[in-house]
Amino acid sequence: MFIVGQALQKASLSFRHTQRTNTLVKMAGAKEDGYSRRIMQYMEGFMVSKTLFTACELGVFDYLNASECPLSAMEVAQGLGTSMDGMGRLLSACVGLELLTTQHSADGQVLYSNTEMSTMFLMKSSPQSLYHSVEYNSNTTYLCWHNLTDAVREGKNQYEKAFGVSSKDLFEALYRSDEEMVRFMQLMNSVWNICGKDVVTAFDLSPFKSIYDLGGCSGALAKQCVSVYPECTVTILDLPKVTETCRKHFLSAEDVRISICEGDFFKNALPDADLFILARILHDWTEKQCRLLLAKVYQSCKPGGGVLLVEALLSEDNSGPLTVQLYSLDMLVQTEGRERKGSEYTSLLTAVGFSTIHICRAGNIYSVILALKG
């Protein structure tokens, strides 16, 4: 009986060992499958982007919205002047991306209509539209990113390879045509239309009556400021051709508490102000240029005044967020700058004299840094 008992015990141990081994093999296999799926998603991510870009550029979402009822692929193709086959595949992919929804007609045709997400963010007419951000990413950013390997090797932006223009003057390259300048300004307009209120309410800015928005571009953030703080006035300081376009396309006679000043904040003297705003400005430039600009801001701040920085911050341990890590690569292919950590901006600010510095997260992407002059 003892021998039989030993045999049964060994058999039981062997069975449990086999079970554990099989479980570990299954877990390893599941992990490998998860890894491979993730790599495939990374590898094919550009396909998702280009599907979105193409649908916007062809006007799919606006066309569907203009219709009083869902449309078939043939109707959309005829309306937008595309092939039936190509449009059918595009619409199907948009359904998979949850940008469109489907239903069947009485005769069995698949009919397409916008989802709430595409209606809200992809139609040109929506107040929250990201259409122009999509357009800029498709026509400019995507082409620069095609040369990311060269950017990493060379450590410089890729405007010359992508567009055949010199990048010695960054904004001459960025604003290489009137059309491209308007496209960039529309991009910034759409960003601040969505994120601007979170940015200007991260801190109480009501004590600051005279505000200068350096590189204020389309004036979208200035509009958010005067909307939230009725006692303040905001002056947009930007390059002459930017301010001309701002007056023509983005500001109206109703924006009475917003004024415009032509200038180059690196080359020209800055006026005295209670508060200077640098929203997504410093990430365009090197540390040396950042210190130069912040020193000028500090000298022009009135006593008790300050500067408000709006940037996407990297974590202190370099672990993320992924969006900001990708933005930093974008700065490599498009600018002279980089995304930075909160501690790096703090060092830049204290180096030029700012003594009181507060950092606050504002929404899902951006953080706001308020530095005061003692």
CATH at residue 358 = 3.40.50.150
Q: Are residues 254 and 353 in the same domain?
A: yes
In the predicted model, is pLDDT for residue 11 greater than 60? Answer: no
Is residue 32 assigned to a domain? no
Instruction: State percent of the chain over pLDDT 90.
Output: 83
Q: Are residues 103 and 203 in the same domain?
A: no
DSSP-assigned beta bridge partners for residue 21: none
Question: Which residue type is seen at 287?
Answer: E
The more confident residue out of 225 and 15 is 225
Q: Contact 248/178 with Cβ under 8 angstroms?
A: no
Is residue 175 assigned to a domain? no
The whole-model pTM stands at: 0.87
Q: Are residues 208 and 83 in the same domain?
A: no
At residue 16 the predicted structure's pLDDT band, cuts being 50, 70 and 90, is low
Residue 321: cis peptide before it, omega within 30 degrees of 0: yes
Closest listed residue to residue 195, CA positions, set 103, 145, 133, 125: 133
Q: Are residues 211 and 99 in the same domain?
A: no
Q: Are residues 343 and 204 in the same domain?
A: yes
Structural domain total, the chain: 2
Q: Are residues 246 and 367 in the same domain?
A: yes
- Domain end call among 99, 121, 143: 121
Q: Cβ of 119: how many Cβ atoms within 10 Å?
A: 18
In the predicted model, is pLDDT for residue 7 greater than 60? Answer: no
DSSP 367: E
Is residue 107 assigned to a domain? yes
Query: Does the active-site annotation cover 283?
Result: yes
Q: How far, in Å, CA of 282 to CA of 279, rounded? A: 8
pLDDT in tens, 179-189: 999 999 999 99
Give me the domain span that covers residue 117: 46-121
Is residue 326 assigned to a domain? yes
Residue 116 has which token pair? 């709430």
In the predicted model, is pLDDT for residue 127 greater than 50? Answer: yes
- Domain end call among 90, 121, 152: 121
Q: Are residues 108 and 214 in the same domain?
A: no
In the predicted model, is pLDDT for residue 158 greater than 90? Answer: yes
Residue 279 has which token pair? 């929203």
The pLDDT of residue 351 is 97
DSSP 336: S
Which of 17, 104, 146, 283 is the catalytic position? 283
Is residue 135 assigned to a domain? no
Q: Are residues 115 and 240 in the same domain?
A: no
Q: Are residues 202 and 69 in the same domain?
A: no
Residue 101 has which token pair? 């929804």
Closest listed residue to residue 135, CA positions, set 64, 176, 186: 186
The pLDDT of residue 12 is 59
What are the Cα distances from residue 350, in Å, to 68, 211, 300, 347?
58, 21, 16, 5
Closest listed residue to residue 310, CA positions, set 198, 208, 217, 228: 198
Indicate which CATH number applies to the domain containing 70: 1.10.10.10
Q: Exposed (0-12), middle (13-18) or buried (19+): which is 160, by Cβ within 10 Å?
A: middle
Q: Are residues 115 and 214 in the same domain?
A: no
Q: How far, in Å, CA of 282 to CA of 242, rounded? A: 18
pLDDT in tens, 230-248: 999 999 999 999 999 999 9
Closest listed residue to residue 222, CA positions, set 244, 241, 237: 237
Residue 101 φ/ψ, nearest 5 degrees? -125, 160
Is residue 104 assigned to a domain? yes
Is residue 184 assigned to a domain? no
Mean pLDDT of 110-117: 98
The pLDDT of residue 8 is 47
What are the Cα distances from residue 100, in Å, to 46, 67, 116, 246?
19, 14, 9, 34
Q: Are residues 212 and 347 in the same domain?
A: yes
Q: Contact 305/208 with Cβ under 8 angstroms?
A: yes
Q: Exposed (0-12), middle (13-18) or buried (19+): which is 248, by Cβ within 10 Å?
A: exposed
The pLDDT of residue 18 is 64
Beta strands in the chain (DSSP E): 71-72, 100-104, 110-114, 210-214, 233-238, 258-262, 273-279, 301-311, 356-362, 366-372
- Domain end call among 101, 121, 141: 121
The pLDDT of residue 4 is 47
